Structure 1
Amino acid sequence: MQENIFTIIGKKYPNFSRTFKLISDFITVNYSVVSFLSVQELSERVGVSTASIVRFCQEIGYSGYQALQRDIQVMVQGEAAPMQELRTSLSDFDEDPLQQMFKLNIETLESAYTESLATEFRNAVESMSAAQKVYIIGLRSSYTVAYYASFLLSQFMENVVLLSAGTNDLFDRLASVKPGDVVLAISFPKYTHLTLQVVEFMKNRGVSVIALTDRPSAPIALHADITLMSKNSSKTYSFVSAMTIINALVIALGRKDTERTMRSLKEKEEIAKQAGIYIQVKE
């Protein structure tokens, strides 16, 4: 099959029956477990008939359950390798760590750019530039990327809202979301339940979802309209490629109206200067 199983599920998901959605949800979240389950065991776990599972497999282009399972097993084997490499690098790290990190991050960036990413990036820029509101969410380690994106974009965009898990009114803040809004959801392993819940909530409200994540099987990718794939280095798990994508988004969105962007940046700079936020250093 040419397309990834999760990409196919994502495209067909809105039109699935309740039974097919149950199967989809279980496979997406527990695909590493599915690689070892028989069709009977899977039917018991999901609570559907084996016939439904076979029909589901055929609906997404497979001849049957075994064919789908073989594809998942290949995927799981591929995803297990990076963890093995990480353990090896921790025990066999002979080079200067600083120099090695530079080398590995350069390699990560060189392999990150693809034509698919470029296409999705252009779609993300158009979607965000036309949005009434741009919500940004990323939790735990992914919060660093989310905050960085929010901080830079808010310098020249007045419709940016950063969501966080630190308050109990998170979903109250989402009560007014509507079609025409966009959410940039950022999620890297280990994926958080709350990020997925927010994405599902906003998707159901007609909000466009842009996912910045590391693989097509990531939970938020299944619900995304646009996916910006940022594969982390297997040895560093650095956010260098994700940060690079954010930088590119900021530049591309800022260029949509350069005059307005420059005016806004100057105003923010003047406010910061008057407030004495930054230390003035003589050149």
Structure 2
Amino acid sequence: MKVLNQVYTLSNGVQLPKIGLGTWQTKKGEETYQSVMMALKNGYRHIDTAEGYQNEASVGQAVRDSGIPREEIFVTSKLESHIKTYEGALEAFEKTMKELKFDYLDLFLIHAPWPWSEMYKDCNEGNVLAYKAMENLYKEGRIRAIGVSNFSPNDIENIIQNCDVVPHVNQIGYFIGIDQSETIDYCRKHNIFIEAYSPLGIGYLLSNKDIQKVAEKYNVSPAQICIRWCLQKETAPLPKSIHENRIIQNTEVDFEISDEDMEFLDTIKGDPRRWD
């Protein structure tokens, strides 16, 4: 079975397709609409959006216009990072549902443990309040799975200690060169699944000479190596593209990187934005 048709199973039994289309930095309107339509036409069944991306309405329209039954498409959205109250989270969810025009959401995440404008601020109390609102929506059946994004082990521990439902997912920036081992080890210990956003290192990995060298060996693109690496790390990569040929190519990863080459890729370290 092709990777595109394979799924992971979350701790609550919900199935999540192994590869998703990311829509971060994809402009609302036609750009997002066409990107999602092309992805769905070419077999994707997992679309990732967020209120903060301002393109939820375009994602929802494409899902409805695709002709594919809603229950066959896994859609994620996220609570904006600055919303840290119970009522605020409920209101934001209703806004998201109004934008998407859906009856339910497959996965809803707290976008970050702190507002993007105040990174690393202590928002433990607010995160618990927002998550409790999400728990109630989950228990009502309006969300099939709930979780967090960009949360460290300490941030997640706060949720586990003060809430009823252990997060089903933690979506983090994860790609060749970045060390997320502490967070991943913690999440695996608590059966929290890892989604990998920016698996191409915001595009910078594609020009890395070591990755290019491995790609040549397998006769694939650097992007395919990056995505395959994430899959072999048992995470769900969320590559983004607005070009149909790349949208297709990003799913053509039905090959195996050898243990030796995985170890070589693991030796690549550092911020990819600083590489030549």
What TM bracket, shorter-length normalisation? under 0.3
TM-score for both structures, normalised by structure 2: 0.26
More strand by share: 2
More helix by share: 1
Please identify the structure whose Cα radius of gyration is greater.
Answer: 1
TM-score for both structures, normalised by structure 1: 0.25
